[in-house]
């Protein structure tokens, strides 16, 4: 029998990412209070709209919401600045900032949503002075740098918990918190569906793995927090191969001299690396083989084990489906016949509509899937 592969995104597919959402809401509200806009908040609908725009990293979303809050306040007081502390300022306005206008105007967040947002805000608000523009620049271009960001440290402490935050980043915590991931994340698979999956996986030609844009552990010399591992442990999939953003970022920056986000979804390298891992190849070899194929120098022998196989990809974001689609097309171009099915998983109608532009099928939950039927 030919090989069958089930490739899963984690958040929104296998795991309800309540921790990330709760941490984002908490951080947006906390920063609003620190700036003097105590009624600042972000709704679940707005979070979904950010994700539809491929702004799926809460680090970017938080910085953008902070920038919009500052612009809202600068129309009242031009000297307000964010200094990264948790001190609540005296209220300046009870009116919340307007996130919706930004969400309606931006077509896509691109690879670096903070920089895309900065250019939009510069063009939209021509009245901003030089000092305000510099503050926005620091806020939005450094939002992924834990040691220079104005928004990320306290947010990551919320996500990881104070003890893990201090140990991992060697930074002093400002709060005494349990990890929001541990506290609010929940597995999506029912016990029966989990057992059904394990029955499917028992077949020797059946393989499965996880590809997530969550930060993950990687070799020394490249900073990335173990958020993928926390999620995988929670859902009971510790035995499955996985590829997170940490290892991809490390390989891009340290071995390919590229920007650290280059190989993440929607890049096909993310999916290609996981397929190699599902075949039992070591991580570094898998990365090298995936990048070689992406660069146009892939060898038939590296991928022939996939011939006449089938890949099913489960995603709640378009960029994950695009990564899988592009990966399978690159394999097909070698003369290897591999069939693929793209499955969108979402309940929010905006996300369903976006996924439907690419997906083969759409489901509200992974619990509706018959593993044996979907991978025929």
CA 207 to each of CA 5, 103, 146, 227, 371: distance values in angstroms, whole numbers, following the listed order: 5, 39, 36, 23, 12
Q: What is the pLDDT of residue 210?
A: 98
CA 46 to each of CA 24, 25, 31, 100, 322: distance values in angstroms, whole numbers, following the listed order: 11, 11, 17, 8, 23
Domain coordinates of the chain in residue numbers? 4-14+186-374, 18-180
For tokens 């939209």, the residue is 124
CA 227 to each of CA 214, 223, 320, 373: distance values in angstroms, whole numbers, following the listed order: 6, 12, 18, 32
Cα gap 26→20, rounded to integer Å: 10
For tokens 């725009």, the residue is 53
Question: Which residues, 6+ apart, have CB-to-CB distance to 103 below 8 Å?
Answer: 46, 49, 50, 53
CA 19 to chain CA mean position, Å:
13
Cα gap 309→327, rounded to integer Å: 14
Phi and psi, residue 7, nearest 5°: -115, 125
Phi and psi, residue 208, nearest 5°: -150, 155
For tokens 């709640």, the residue is 316
For tokens 């190699």, the residue is 276
Q: Hey, which bits of the chain come out as E strands?
A: 4-8, 15-16, 186-187, 206-211, 242-243, 309-315, 338-345, 361-363
Cα gap 335→342, rounded to integer Å: 21
- pTM score: 0.81
For tokens 């397929």, the residue is 275
Whether a cis peptide bond, with omega within 30° of 0, leads into 336 is: no
3-state class (DSSP) for residue 233: helix
Cα gap 144→9, rounded to integer Å: 22
**With a cut of 70, which residues of the chain have pLDDT below it?**
1, 221, 223
Q: What is the pLDDT of residue 1?
A: 61
Alpha helical stretches, state H, 3-57: 18-35, 44-52
Cα gap 266→246, rounded to integer Å: 16
Q: What is the pLDDT of residue 221?
A: 67
Paired strand residues for 367? none
Q: pLDDT tens digit string along 134-190?
A: 999 999 999 999 999 999 999 999 999 999 999 888 899 999 999 999 899 999 999
Q: Are 359 and 342 in contact (CB under 8 A)?
A: yes
Could you give the angle at which helices 245-254 and 268-278 cross, rounded to 10 degrees? 110
3-state class (DSSP) for residue 8: strand
What class does CATH assign to 4-14+186-374?
alpha beta
């Amino acid at each position: 029998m030919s090989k069958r592969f089930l490739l899963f995104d984690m958040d929104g597919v296998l795991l309800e990412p309540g921790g990330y959402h709760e941490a984002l809401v908490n951080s947006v509200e906390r920063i609003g209070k620190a700036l003097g806009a105590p009624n600042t908040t972000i709704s679940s609908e707005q979070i979904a709209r950010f994700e539809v725009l491929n702004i799926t990293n809460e680090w970017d979303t938080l910085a953008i919401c902070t920038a919009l809050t500052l612009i809202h306040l600068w129309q009242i007081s031009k000297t307000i600045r964010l200094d990264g502390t948790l001190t609540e300022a005296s209220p300046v306005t009870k009116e919340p900032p307007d996130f919706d206008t930004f969400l309606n105007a931006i077509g896509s967040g691109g690879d670096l949503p903070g920089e895309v947002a900065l250019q939009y805000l510069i063009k939209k608000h021509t009245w901003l002075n030089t000092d305000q523009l510099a503050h926005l620049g620091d806020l939005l271009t450094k939002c992924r740098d834990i040691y220079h960001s104005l928004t990320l440290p306290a947010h990551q402490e919320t996500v990881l918990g104070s003890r893990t935050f201090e140990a991992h980043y060697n930074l002093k915590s400002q709060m005494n918190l349990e990890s929001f991931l541990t506290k609010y994340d929940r597995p999506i698979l029912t016990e029966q569906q989990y057992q059904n999956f394990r029955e499917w996986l028992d077949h020797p030609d059946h393989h499965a793995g996880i590809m997530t844009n969550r930060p993950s552990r990687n070799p020394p010399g490249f900073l990335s927090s173990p958020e993928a591992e926390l999620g995988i442990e929670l859902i009971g999939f510790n035995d499955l191969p996985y590829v997170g953003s940490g290892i991809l970022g490390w390989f891009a920056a340290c071995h390919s001299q590229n920007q650290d986000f280059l190989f993440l979804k929607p890049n096909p390298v993310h999916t290609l690396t996981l397929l190699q891992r599902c075949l039992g190849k070591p991580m570094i070899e898998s990365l090298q083989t995936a990048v070689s194929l992406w660069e146009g120098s892939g060898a038939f022998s590296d991928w022939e084990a996939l011939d006449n196989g089938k890949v099913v990809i489960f995603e709640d974001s378009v960029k994950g489906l695009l990564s899988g689609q592009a990966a399978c097309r690159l394999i097909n171009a070698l003369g290897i016949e591999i069939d693929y099915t793209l499955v969108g998983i979402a309940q929010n109608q905006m996300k369903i509509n976006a996924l439907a532009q690419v997906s083969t099928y759409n489901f509200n939950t992974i619990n509706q899937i018959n593993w044996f039927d979907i991978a025929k």
